[in-house]
Amino acid sequence: MSNLIKPQGYRALLDMRQTEQGIKLIKEFFQQNLSTELRLRRVTAPLFVLKGLGINDDLNGVERPVTFPIKDLGDAKAEVVHSLAKWKRLTLAEYGIEPGYGIYTDMNAIRADEELDNLHSLYVDQWDWEAVINAPQRNVTFLESVVRRIYGAIRRTEYLTCETYPQIKPFLPDDIHFIHSEDLLQMYPDLTPKEREDAICKKYGAVFIEGIGAKLSNGEKHDGRAADYDDWSTVAENGKAGLNGDILIWYPVLGHSFELSSMGIRVDKESLLRQLKLEGQEEREKLYFHQQLLEDKLPLSIGGGIGQSRLCMVLLHKAHIGEIQASIWPEEMRQECEDMGMKLI
């Protein structure tokens, strides 16, 4: 409850019927734009995977997956996915996707350890995407070019939404600003990582923060990243570590920064081994996914996740993600939101 942001004078611009129509409009239009921009084909994804294969996304490494036994497999344990970061790379190999092409899917997850607030729900829905790349493309210049294409698709979707609902006014800037997490620390050395995100997003409107996962010069990480999907340790052509990052915007409805996507160039053999060692997780080398990568059976790739409910929330100018998706909320939060005009589904 303490994390609930309470925007003063908030008023939903769309009623519930219009909101549902707007969600459909945004999801259909954006995924078509995303697939065209990045040359992605849609694939069907699992809701759960077998435990112990190293396929599930470990996020920051501390979140507990929802687990259940499978009767017909001798009570073998399955885990509801956190995301599909590693599953997608296995699928690229299975489908024989060529460099320059990729896949996307509707990812639905349950994150039982999430702290519930305006942006965080037990239920997570993303467009999870992954594309095959060549070794020379494992650099920041290529990463930023992909970010610009994704941001362009977001802005086109904003334009369509505002044309459909004239009461909604566009606010996203024309361009997205790039900054490394170490440079951001140097700009705002006395602020916490979240406060630094707020400051830089308020200044530029839309920002891609690079190099998330490695320790910065103050000995702390900007944010945690699992060791076995994003490459956050390779020193890039800019002399700084990390080939990954987050797309964030300044969201005036809440007066805070707002993460729309986490993405990056994925680990190769060298960076996987290096990052597992840095995190003290060398035992994971024996897992199925990691063995596939170490035996050169997986392609080099870039990928990420783009929040479906989050994008709809932003483009429809909603103050709580529960106005977009059906989930479970503390009754006190639900009542408080109702009193402030945030009607949760």
Is 246 annotated in the active site? yes
Of 7, 3, 12, give the one whose Cα is nearest residue 313.
12
Q: Give residues with Cβ within 8 angstroms of 145, minimum separation 6.
A: none
Radius of gyration over every alpha carbon of the chain, rounded to an integer in angstroms: 20
Helix 308-315 and helix 16-38: axis angle, to 10°? 120
Annotated catalytic residue 323: no
Q: Residue 320: count other Cβ atoms within 10 Å of its Cβ.
A: 28
Catalytic residue list contains 257: no
| Residue of 35, 57, 197, 225 marked catalytic | 57
CA distance 248 to 273: 29
> Of 61, 83, 80, 172, which is closest to residue 127 (Cα–Cα)?
83
Known active-site residue 111: yes
Judge contact between 153 and 139, C-beta under 8 A: no
Catalytic residue among 106, 259, 285, 336: 259
Contact 244, 211 (CB under 8 A): yes
Name the active-site residue from 111, 138, 225, 310.
111
CB 51 within 8 A of CB 26: no
**86: Cβ–Cβ under 8 A, 6 or more apart, which residues?**
54, 55, 56, 57, 228, 229, 289
Active site residue 262: yes
Strand order in the sheet with 301-307: 40-42, 102-110, 123-132, 301-307, 256-265, 244-251, 206-210, 177-180
Longest dimension (CA), the chain: 57
**C-alpha–C-alpha distance, residues 192 and 345, integer Å:** 33
Check 125, 128, 246, 323 and give the catalytic one.
246
The one catalytic residue in 137, 261, 262, 327 is 262
Polymer length of the chain: 345
Catalytic-residue membership of 259: yes
> Catalytic site residues?
57, 111, 126, 246, 259, 262
